[in-house]
Amino acid sequence: MKKHIVINVAGKVQGVFYRASTKAVADQLGVKGIVRNQPDGSVYIEAEAEPGILEMFVEWCNEGPEKAHVTAVSTAEAELKNYRNFEVVKK
Query: What are the start-end ranges of the E strands in 1-91?
Result: 3-12, 32-37, 43-49, 69-78, 86-89
Residues in Cβ contact with 52 at an 8 Å cutoff, skipping those fewer than 6 apart: none
Q: Which of 8, 36, 37, 82 is catalytic?
A: 37
Catalytic residue flag (residue 62): no
Alpha-helical regions (H) of 1-91: 18-29, 51-63
Which listed residue (19, 62, 84, 85) is catalytic? 19
The reply to whether 37 belongs to the active site is yes
Contact call for residues 67 and 20 (beta carbons, < 8 A): no
Active site residues: 19, 37
